[in-house]
Chains A and B, each alone.
Chain A
Amino acid sequence: MGMDTSEWLRSFEATRAAADGWNPCETETLEALGRLRLDFLGRGGRLTESLKGLKGLSLDDRRKLGPRAQSLKASLAERIQRRKSELESSLDLSLEKDRVDVTLPALPPGRGRLHPLTLMALEMTDILRRMGFSVADGPLVEDDWHNFGALNIPEHHPARDMQDTFYLKDLPFLLRTHTSPVQIRAMERARPPLRVICPGGRVFRHDQVDATHSAVFHQVECLAVDRGITFADLKGTLDVFMKSLLGPSTKTRFRPSYFQFTEPSAEVDVSCLLCGGKGCPVCKLSGWLEMLGAGVVNPAVFKAVGLDPEEWSGFAFGLGVERLAIMKYRIPDIRLFYENDLRFLRQFDENIV
């Protein structure tokens, strides 16, 4: 069932007249051009229908009329394409007119910052948690037993001179002078094996405040108690911890020292953050920075919390958060941490790379 030739021709000629009558200049937008294209060349478009209609004609007519229709399609498609290019380039021109000064300053989103000491403490806590330590805590207002007695620092012992203490009026309490009482509280709370940290705990010393001394500062305390823990475990743990914290080339050095609650005790140095150990003014040419105190848990401490030192052994270390932040960020005065000047607080950001 086909269309007869004259009917096809009538329809085709009407289409051709319409196509020829199209003045591209009168189509002013890309949208209108798109509609025009669909009208003629889209699926079901007028010219498309004519081309489909060819199939119903005789072979001769098809040979005669086919090329005419194809040629009309080609020329119309080309005119549409040309107009499209014209319209697009004029669009670019009008966009050009809307240009803005891209160098104007943008309003920063009002993001706040965490305190540098928070950042420092969180970083340390994260590493130690990955190494298998759980978080523990204790009060800042402590009793004598937890702050001193249980840590093998009896009353009237000169070791108390190392930690000048604030006492509360009319109350049998003091402000803890170190985070080590958290060790005692952790051992009172749970039986070993234990691996706990006190993350960035506040401590107090009766010290006049100046550029290098603060009456308030913070420590990260770490305690591991298990069977067969040795000084070698302490060395290994601190080595991994310091490398994670300060970079893989960091070296640690252990020097004999004294704390009542550890035996043997050590002062731990790390290779200078600035010069890497070659010697510079920051490390006073030594190549080392004093970083923290550590040691094997003194059996007297185990006895104080009712653990048998022949069965259990452990290590503990504590380091100053301020001290590390001062070295890492090269902060010249410890008081800056507590003045809360926005010009200071804004400087310390966690960069994403």
Chain B
Amino acid sequence: MRISYSWLKERLELGLPPEELVRRLPSVGLEVASLERKGPAFSGVVTAEVLSVAKHPDADRLSLCQVTDGAQTYSVVCGAPNVAAGQKVPFARVGATLPGGKLSKAKIRGVESEGMICSAVELSLGTQASDIMVLDPATAVGVDAAELLGGGDVVLDIEVTPNRPDLLSHLGIARELSICFGLPLRKEVETTLQEDGELKPFPVEILSTGECPRYVGRLIEGVEVKDSPGWLKAKLEAVGLRPVNNVVDITNFILMDAGQPLHAFDADSIEGGRIIVRLAKPGESILALDGKRYPLSPEHLVIADASKPVAIAGVMGGQATSVTAKTKRLFLESAHFAPPGVRRASQALRLRSDSSFRFERGTDVSAAEWASHSAALLISRLCGKSVRVSPPLDVYPGRREPSPIRVAAARINAILGSDFPKADIEGVVERVCAKTSREGDCLVAVPPSWRCDLATPWDLAEEAARVLGYDRIPARVAPAALRPTEELRSHAVSRKSRSRMAALGFHECWSYDFLSVRQVSLLELPEAEQVALTNPLSEDWAVLRPSLAPGLLDAARRNNARAESVRLFEVGKVYRRAGAAVEERTRLAALLLGPMTPAHWRAPKETAGFFDAKAVMADLLSGVPGLRWTASGDGPGNGFAGDHLFLPSNRLFIQAPTGKLLATLGALHPRLARAWEMERQRPVLFEIDLDHLAGLSSPAPVFRAFSPFPSSWRDLSVVVRENVPYEEIEACIRSLRIGELDSVQLVDLYEGSGVPEGKRSLSLRLVFGRPDRTLTDAEVSSAVERILAELKNRFDAALRT
């Protein structure tokens, strides 16, 4: 809300300099987004009265005026057509500084001019260049015009929270400052409005009283639509509104001054001479003031005449009934619309206005009546000499009195944990509320009509805290809860796996949850399982990720340019649609790309591959019992949109003891590598379902004795067909249940010359030992013989020579 400091001062006895006010406002909950100093563009300009106007002897279009500033009379040449005797005007004396320069004595067409009557342009107060600024006739002469016209104004942009629509006006801010800082409000000058009882406003019929609890209408005749006087234009421009004409400007002025939205219709364009407040009919539409046509539906409240909607209630008027230069008769609407309806219409039509902004937050229902009065008064003063104003027609079917709040000062202190004196708390409640009475220890407070946000003792507690000062509430540290705190298991699993991955050399990534449709299609996720957004920020961000892989691939591509060792991981949510629900699961994914280590004189120059990823995943899952690592992923509950990520020949699936798929691992499929511009490299990835993992448990370590006697080992190189999986060979050895066999390690793998085509040589290191003694050579040899014999038997293995 833009607040003009000088305007505010007309409402409030405000002695503080603007900077001081800005400094103090946050303590009562008002944020100032900006402070704009409307520099005094001129000085030495005073208010003056035009005493007489005569023709310039030598120029038709110039006049010679006598002007007084109260102290002295000046002879001035003026070129404006609108100058007239009796006007109050801004007058620049010789020596005044104007935006265009310093004013000196000048001879114009042979006649000396002792100063200049200024236009808005000459004072940088507006855009009207040809006419002089005509001030309010009530203006005193000899006053510094800079002060009066807002030439030296300060405009504050105050952020108003949605619960305080009552602050969306100069009056509202003035009231608030008065309560919070104890500054007196200025009394409004009582001016009586001459109402013409002969004149009858249009009949108003409200069909939706829930949506429109009150409607005040007036008919005004004899209106002359023209430019507003300078002071009015200056005020509107100060708060960021563009002056239109005197009628529209007056409604806008009331909006900004009192917070009540008004609308003036051209009464002659209202068909049938009556107003109906109703829901729109199917098929109706309206050409609004912004020049656009809006289709209306039966959930939109409209103001209609006998045949058509003339305004979208509370949002915007229609062009057909708008006030134009030709308008002579006005119908002035001052209504109260219920917030939800206005908001619904404004959102559905994507149309917002200063009116809808206020109505949807809640306006003061009482203002509908008095704002109409204020507007009519201004119209009768500023829109020509023959204005006739009808009495108001006040249709108020939705009358509701604010409910009183019963609260004791002690209750407020109990909510706040404060120790404010009873009198201070009650003082605030009395200042904030319209009426208070006493009932024992309690105050019964009736909120004012403009404070729709006050309904409970908590609301009044906030008022008390705000006015008396949040900083006066003590800080108390709650006594320790003597209960152990719990960590969610899923959270603990995420936390531990993150730490483990970092320890294993991986850098943690955080990616956005959004993918493009194209990326999701690369993952071959059926459309029925995709979770799409109704309102994505862009096409690239249309679907929620079903896998963490695309995010890591994006990150890998970004880092790939520097040929670094890229080892990344992420822990995050993935999403899959399952019928009418969304399945949301936490996953951990990791990616390896490029050299295993940075280029370094001590480091081997090897590229990360499938088995490096496998090693990392094995480390991460070590200790989890009963996992099954397989080359095919046909397990139930396969929710992985990762199956299509990998080369079929280069992937692994890990099943939990439940049979559910827990993780996948593999080298990226070339199709995807191409999509991510990494064709020549082969990133390896894995993805683990941490929610599944959190459901498993690993036993705590239990000490197992190891032999104090030296162990013996033998290396055994056997040649087997290359299609025999290593896993089977090790399983075969273990199936012999040789108690002395401690471990089997594959220490070398060889294919090539010396080994027959289609076969490979495996070098196995077999380690033997007993807990009670050292084994003899003969015992070890016999065990190795058994193993070799079994391998020959099962796989036709031959000892490599």
Q: Does B277 contact A (CB under 8 A)?
A: no
CB atoms of B505 and A112 under 8 A apart: yes
CB atoms of A232 and B417 under 8 A apart: yes
Number of interface residues of A (CB under 8 A): 85
State the CA gap A338–B555 with chains docked (Å): 9
Of the stretches A2-10, A41-49, A86-94, A249-257, the one at the interface is: A249-257
Q: Residue-by-residue, is B497-537 near A (CB-CB < 8 Å gives 1, otherwise 0)?
A: 01101111111111111100000000000000001111111
Nearest residue (CB) in A for B30 is A256
Known contacts A139-B584, A256-B29, A264-B466; is-contact A229 B507 (Cβ 8 Å): no
CB atoms of A112 and B507 under 8 A apart: yes
Of the stretches A55-63, A68-76, A235-243, the one at the interface is: A235-243
Contact of B558 among A239, A255, A339 (CB under 8 A): A339
CB distance from B471 to the nearest CB of A (A): 7
The residues in A between 125 and 165 inclusive whose CB is less than 8 angstroms from any CB of B are 129, 132-137, 139-141, 155-159, 161-162
CB distance from B344 to the nearest CB of A (A): 6
The residues in A between 180 and 234 inclusive whose CB is less than 8 angstroms from any CB of B are 193, 195, 199, 202, 204, 206, 208-209, 215-216, 224, 226, 228-233
State the CA gap A338–B554 with chains docked (Å): 11
Known contacts A132-B481, A159-B162; is-contact A113 B502 (Cβ 8 Å): yes
CB distance from A34 to the nearest CB of B (A): 27
CB distance from B535 to the nearest CB of A (A): 6
CB atoms of B597 and A258 under 8 A apart: no
Contact of A254 among B471, B565, B572, B580 (CB under 8 A): B471
The residues in B between 417 and 466 inclusive whose CB is less than 8 angstroms from any CB of A are 417-418, 456, 458-459, 461-462, 465-466
CB atoms of B476 and A232 under 8 A apart: yes
CB atoms of B531 and A141 under 8 A apart: yes
User: Quick one: which of A122, A129, A199, A256 has the most chain B CB within 10 A?
Assistant: A256
Contact of B513 among A173, A202, A226, A299 (CB under 8 A): A202
**Interface residue SS majority, chain A:** mixed
CB distance from A254 to the nearest CB of B (A): 4
Nearest residue (CB) in B for A137 is B488
Nearest residue (CB) in A for B590 is A112
Q: Does A340 contact B (CB under 8 A)?
A: yes
Q: Does A124 contact B (CB under 8 A)?
A: no
Residues of B with C-beta under 8 A to A240 = 477
Nearest residue (CB) in A for B506 is A112
Residues of B with C-beta under 8 A to A281 = none
Q: Residue-by-residue, is A83-109 near B (CB-CB < 8 Å gives 1, otherwise 0)?
A: 000000000000000000000111110
Question: How many A-B pairs with Cβ below 8 Å?
Answer: 243
Q: Does B241 contact A (CB under 8 A)?
A: no
Q: Does B487 contact A (CB under 8 A)?
A: yes
CB atoms of A216 and B481 under 8 A apart: no
CB distance from A80 to the nearest CB of B (A): 36
Q: Does A341 contact B (CB under 8 A)?
A: yes
State the CA gap A137–B493 with chains docked (Å): 14
CB atoms of A255 and B470 under 8 A apart: yes
Residues of B with C-beta under 8 A to A256 = 27-29, 462, 465-466, 470
Residues of A with C-beta under 8 A to B555 = 339-340
Residues of A with C-beta under 8 A to B532 = 168-170
CB atoms of B477 and A236 under 8 A apart: yes
Nearest residue (CB) in A for B484 is A134
Number of interface residues of B (CB under 8 A): 94
Known contacts A263-B456, A340-B568; is-contact A167 B535 (Cβ 8 Å): yes
CB distance from B28 to the nearest CB of A (A): 6
State the CA gap A230–B585 with chains docked (Å): 37
Q: Residue-by-residue, is A299-333 near B (CB-CB < 8 Å gives 1, otherwise 0)?
A: 10000000000000100000000000000000000
CB atoms of A166 and B533 under 8 A apart: yes
Q: Does A110 contact B (CB under 8 A)?
A: yes
CB atoms of B505 and A111 under 8 A apart: yes
CB distance from A343 to the nearest CB of B (A): 8
Known contacts A141-B582, A169-B534, A256-B466; is-contact A132 B480 (Cβ 8 Å): yes
Nearest residue (CB) in A for B537 is A215
CB atoms of B161 and A230 under 8 A apart: no
CB atoms of B512 and A257 under 8 A apart: no
Of the stretches B96-104, B245-253, B600-608, the one at the interface is: B600-608
State the CA gap A97–B647 with chains docked (Å): 54
Q: Does A114 contact B (CB under 8 A)?
A: yes
Contact of B29 among A208, A258, A299, A342 (CB under 8 A): A258
CB distance from A251 to the nearest CB of B (A): 11
Leading 5 A-B pairs by shortest Cβ distance: A232-B417, A230-B417, A256-B29, A264-B462, A258-B161
Can you name 20 extra interface pairs (CB under 8 A) apart from A232-B473, A296-B415? A105-B600, A110-B565, A110-B567, A112-B503, A112-B506, A134-B485, A155-B340, A157-B339, A166-B535, A167-B535, A168-B582, A215-B514, A215-B541, A230-B476, A233-B417, A256-B466, A257-B29, A260-B163, A340-B559, A345-B508
A residues sitting closer than 8 Å to B (CB atoms) are: 104-108, 110-115, 117-118, 122, 129, 132-137, 139-141, 155-159, 161-162, 166-171, 173, 175, 193, 195, 199, 202, 204, 206, 208-209, 215-216, 224, 226, 228-233, 235-237, 239-240, 253-258, 260, 263-266, 296, 298-299, 313, 337-342, 345-346
Q: Would you mind naming 14 contact pairs between A and B with Cβ atoms under 8 Å apart?
A: A111-B503, A132-B481, A141-B575, A156-B344, A171-B531, A230-B418, A231-B415, A232-B416, A236-B474, A253-B471, A255-B26, A264-B415, A338-B512, A346-B507
